[in-house]
Amino acid sequence: QVQLIESGGGLVQAGDSLRLSCAASGGTFSNYVMGWFRQAPGKERELVAAMDSRGITTYYADAVKGRFTISRDNAKNTAYLQMSTLKPEDTAVYSCLGGIFRWNTNLYKTPQAYRYWGQGTQVTVSS
């Protein structure tokens, strides 16, 4: 059974930084497109960042561009989301998703296209 387990969330103040980790087990992590999604109360789930299986190509939502960085270490079966200059509007449950599809299909933009989901980790930014 493939598992994705997020960690690193917490309660921080505006302007602080956090690094989220997503540890994968039970599958071939190096073949997965990885995406970070978030969902805030009253809002749709949105794609924050995504990366292809080789860590070459990335996507960022406009709201986080320049502040967040997605990365992966295939040798450690782990994906990361480095979040800097956090804002109250970043408050959400953050989930990492693993997909088995080609990057150029653009399926990384669609939550239901991903096969594997983590349980989510809460990020709360106060001000």
Q: How far apart (Å, rounded) are the C-alpha atoms in residues 118 and 16?
A: 24
- Over residues 62-82, the mean pLDDT reads 97
Q: For a pLDDT cut of 90, what percent of the chain falls above it?
A: 96
**pLDDT value of residue 67:** 98
Q: How far apart (Å, rounded) are the C-alpha atoms in residues 91 and 19?
A: 14
Q: How far apart (Å, rounded) are the C-alpha atoms in residues 66 and 45?
A: 21
When pLDDT is cut at 50, 70 and 90, the band that residue 27 belongs to is confident
Judge contact between 1 and 75, C-beta under 8 A: no
